[in-house]
């Protein structure tokens, strides 16, 4: 178990405010990571994706780092720009 995993588990147990927002925040973080990984796998820079989407590099950076505010239509356009398709899966909450 990594130091980060131990830290998060301890915070989840001892800090109710941290625990309350953790799952939602982590889900948003994972979306941004998946977007960045798809871009990198396509061999593209943020500037190249920005040109494809007719936006700026800073807008792409915000999308990859703050995915909680991204619209579904932008996710789909981003996916197409990096040569992938968007797939959404609903899973039962635990």
- pTM attached to this predicted model: 0.70
Nearest to 93 by CA among 2, 24, 8: 24
Residue 15 within any structural domain of the chain: yes
**Cα dist from 50 to 21, 27, 91, 93, whole Å:** 31, 24, 31, 35
- Total domain count for the chain? 1
Residue 52 within any structural domain of the chain: yes
Q: What domain range includes position 9?
A: 3-81
Residue 89 within any structural domain of the chain: no
- Average pLDDT of the residues of the chain: 86
Place of tokens 């980060």: 4
Residue 49 within any structural domain of the chain: yes
At residue 80's C-alpha, the angle toward residues 77 and 82, to 5°, is: 115
Instruction: Pick the more confident residue, 50 or 17.
Output: 50
Residue 65 to residue 30: CA distance in whole angstroms: 10
Nearest to 34 by CA among 2, 78, 92: 78
Which pLDDT score is estimated for 39?
A: 96
């Amino acid at each position: 178990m990594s130091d980060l995993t131990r830290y998060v588990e301890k915070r989840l147990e001892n800090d109710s405010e941290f625990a309350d927002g953790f799952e939602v925040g982590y889900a948003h973080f994972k979306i941004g990571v998946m977007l960045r990984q798809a871009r990198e796998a396509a061999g593209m820079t943020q500037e190249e994706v920005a040109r494809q989407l007719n936006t700026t590099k800073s807008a792409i950076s915000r999308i990859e780092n703050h995915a909680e505010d991204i619209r579904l239509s932008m996710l789909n356009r981003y996916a197409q720009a990096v040569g992938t398709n968007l797939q959404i899966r609903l899973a039962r909450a635990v």
